[in-house]
A = this chain, B = another copy of it.
Amino acid sequence: MSAPPDLDSVDHDLLGLLQRNSRRTLAQLGEEVGLSAAATKRRVDRLERLGVITGYTVRIDHEKLGWTLEAFTELSVMGHSRMAEIEAAARDLPEVLRIFTTAGDPDALVHLRVRDMAHLRHAVDQLRSSGQVTGTKTLMVLSVWEPPERPTRPAP
């Protein structure tokens, strides 16, 4: 495990700005943090090189696509299962957004997005059909709140 690279407040501001809108131009970015476009490019290039910025992506409104339901399924698995095996139990479902293996009880938390209740039922059935899984408990998501994106913060 390597020590975190030392980033100053300008770097953190840039990350916050890019997180809100990665299509700002270098000139715009520079203006907001008080740097020239060239200097800003050097900062951003460095953040990419350090692996702090791992990619550029697009935010998609999945509700608009008809995938309107989210859920979390808590998985309990056989005592001898290794983490990789737990992940394998859920990895192949297209409904899976993320799999979190966890310490304690339950053993994993599977974040799902589905079209409707029938679809959720089907996805949970798939999870339960894995040989590793000994039990599930599903929480249906009623609402999601996300914080406004702010500058990232240093780890002192």
Which residues of A approach B to under 8 Å, CB–CB?
Answer: 4-5, 7, 15, 18-23, 50-62, 64-67, 70, 72, 83, 87, 91, 94, 96-104, 106, 109, 115, 139-147, 149-150, 152-155
Contacts and interface: CB of A to CB of B under 8 A. Distances in A.
Contacts of A56: 21-23, 56-59
Complex copy number for this chain: 2
B103 A18 contact: no
A139 to B, nearest CB: 4
A112 to B, nearest CB: 12
Given A98-B145, A103-B142, A139-B109, A60 B64 contact: no
Contacts of A65: 4, 7, 52, 152-155
